[in-house]
Amino acid sequence: MANRLTVGMVQAEAANFSREESQHKEASLFGVTDGKAVGTYLEHKFQDTLARKYGYERGNSASGIDFPSLGLDIKVTSLKQPQSSCPFRSARQKVYGLGYSLIVFVYEKTDYPRLKAATLKIVHTIFVDKDRTADYQTTVGLRKLVKNGANKDDILAFFEERRLPIDEIEGEVLAEEILLRPPDIGYLTISNALQWRLQYGRAIEQAGQAQGVTRLS
């Protein structure tokens, strides 16, 4: 029977995978400029590596994340523009986080014309705990408001200023919750869209320094 996978094991395997993949030359990626194709290649290869050693529930389109039983998702992004899309569920995600943790592989791609192959140098591998996956500016602003004695109207005005995609009833419920339970500081930048746009620059900078953001390699 395969070993039961844990979040700690995924983190350790991600660090090893990053070191090994950075040395690997892959013919199928030569000349490929589509970031989604590169991301799919890397995610599938990492999942296949894990599947050979561990038993776990593999994610699908219904679950929306790669490791539903662990509350963990894999993101792959280029160093040139470290960002990716994410399914929109509710505005609460911008305040209290996505609801699951992230492992982010940040790569730098190099083509070798003579070899007709490419390498993906994994320059950053970071783990962001689910409690730290909210939007940085939103959480910092809300914590400051609560600290300064804000009331519900102040919180609702902040939502409006930040153009938080939320209706009136949901906004009132969320504002009351924030006053009772101010959010932890998040380290993602989350842009409003039909899908959230997650940007990882701050998380990369803070990895190993901020609580809940770990540098794996």
Question: Do 140 and 129 share a structural domain?
Answer: no
Question: Do 210 and 146 share a structural domain?
Answer: no
Question: Do 105 and 23 share a structural domain?
Answer: yes
For 97, left (φ over 0), alpha (ψ -120 to 50), or beta? left
Question: Do 158 and 74 share a structural domain?
Answer: no
Q: Flag whether pLDDT at 59 surpasses 90.
A: no
What CATH number is attached to the domain comprising 69?
3.40.210
For 175, residues 6+ apart whose C-beta sits below 8 A from its C-beta are 152, 155, 156, 159
Question: Do 54 and 65 share a structural domain?
Answer: yes
Domain holding 166, by residue range, is: 136-180
Question: Do 70 and 163 share a structural domain?
Answer: no
- For residue range 141-175, list pLDDT tens digits in order: 999 999 999 999 999 999 999 999 999 999 999 99
**β partners of residue 122:** 107
Amino acid at 33: T
Look at residue 149 and give its three-state secondary structure.
Answer: coil
Question: Do 195 and 140 share a structural domain?
Answer: no
Does 10 map to a domain?
yes
Judging by DSSP bridges, how do beta strands 189-191 and 196-199 pair with one another? Answer: antiparallel
CA distance 179 to 123: 39
pTM over 0.85: yes
Does 94 map to a domain?
no
Question: Do 104 and 13 share a structural domain?
Answer: yes
Does 185 map to a domain?
no
Amino acid at 118: A
Mean pLDDT of the chain: 95
Question: Do 47 and 22 share a structural domain?
Answer: yes
Confidence of residue 1 (pLDDT cuts 50, 70, 90): very low
Question: Do 79 and 157 share a structural domain?
Answer: no
**What pLDDT is recorded for position 214?**
98
The total of structural domains in the chain comes to 2
